[in-house]
Structure 1
Amino acid sequence: PFVNLRGLYFSRIVQSRSYVLALEGPPPLRGMYLGCAEDGYSFRSCRAADGKDLLLLGGCGHKTGHETEAAHYEKLEETARRLFPGCTVKYRWSAQDCMTNDGIPYAGRYRQMEGNIYLACGFNKWGMTGSMAAARVVARLIASGGEETSVFSPLRSSFSLQAPEFFRQAGDTAVNFLKGYFSVPGRELSQLLPGEGGVVDYSGAKIGAWRDEEGGLHAVDPVCPHMHCPLRWNGEEKTWDCPCHGSRFDADGKVLESPAVHPLSRRGPD
């Protein structure tokens, strides 16, 4: 979880989602491969619990709360069929990662005035490598009590490099904030069918609602408790996603991804 004001890290980190398919049929790979293009794919083999070889195809990253997840799974499946004709999708899942504005992880002192608090995050989808490097940086600082000199320092003076992305993300946050608050629900709660979800009107107020396949209602306040950004319904994963800072909640409001630390309030009929 992020501390909101001290350090303003929520504004210096973007939450990104990406997707993976586990494919049965392709021959095992002898290595791990990552496309260099911004919209490239990753490939690696693994062995399932039943002993079968699977190929993991990953990609289609985007900022949390901004795009339809179903479309990205469809794109990955199209790519899988094109590259590996006859393959079968055995499993699929998504993940969320912290991305820094300048592409370099944060590892070091949280703030100059709080030398006993350390930060390690923003691994830009290289969590295994980044976390090991961050652990060594932080351990060295704690053991030596030395000055912050690492290129990974959260206190680094690289605003000139971060500024374009910082202002782009700030503008995007403002647009999504206003768009959510001034949007008008397209239907009433009573019109919500089993399996459907979204922001709806209930007695003149906006609520976030999802009817499960049995008709049960799951209704919450569709506003992120982190910084009050309006949430968007993710119908593919049945979650409420924040387009501003990347928090995610399940259909009943439980926190799934920070920076939010408090659940959504319940709304709708008692």
Structure 2
Amino acid sequence: MAASEQESPEADGLEQGLFSHLIELRTRLMRALITVVVVLVALIPFANRLYSELAQPLVKRLPQGAHLIATEVAGGFVTPLKLAFYTALFIGMPMILYQLWAFVSPGLYRNEKRLARPLLAAALLLFYLGCAFAYFLVLPAAFRFLTAVTPEGVEMMTDISHYLDFVMLMFFAFGLCFQVPVIVVVLAAIGVVNLEQLRSGRRYAIVGAFAISAFITPPDITSMIMLAIPMCLLYELGVLAVRWLLKPGQTERA
């Protein structure tokens, strides 16, 4: 009986600590959700304009008389709203990541915080750069190729919902591919690879970059090269970041 009484305060403290963490997590998730909802409400009046801008890489390269179509009854209404939601997530991502960071950071050591802050900021910036790279460079080149190889007698009319899904998939894929420097630094920080292994593995990184590019990009050589070359350069940036951010002892295998 006495033993159970001694254990009770510890159990109560653990339960209260877990409950307080859950309350904090709920609060921070609510703040992130409110941010996205506020941005979404502000974007709804501009949903059609947003879609028109998103469709420009394809619309500018369609043959004379061709245009985008809506094959579903509510497609012309729902699809721009979906884009507005994706854009709200895109704009609200810094707040979402900040709330997650504020929840996780108290449990990290000082050296972990020192490394995590620049990596988190770099990951967000690189994701945005990947999306911009896809929109301004890769998609125009890909659509120029696709419209050029359309068989004679076939009229190219793309459904607006399918176009949105394709472009969002490309944004997500390029945003992830641009995370190469962050992935390299993380692998070095946890001891999976060291600086010398990264330097000697350049040839494998190049082959991997071209293989990933061939799998992700539309079926034209231009798009593949336009993704593979930045990935190779980003790998080199990751090697430099390992040299700058990690001490020699931190890049050795555990």
In terms of fraction of residues, the more strand-rich structure is: 1
Specify the TM-score bucket, using the shorter chain as the normaliser. under 0.3
TM value normalised by structure 2: 0.23
> Computing the radius of gyration over CA atoms, which structure comes out larger, 1 or 2?
2
* Structure with more relative contact order (C-alpha pairs < 8 Å, separation 6 or more): 2
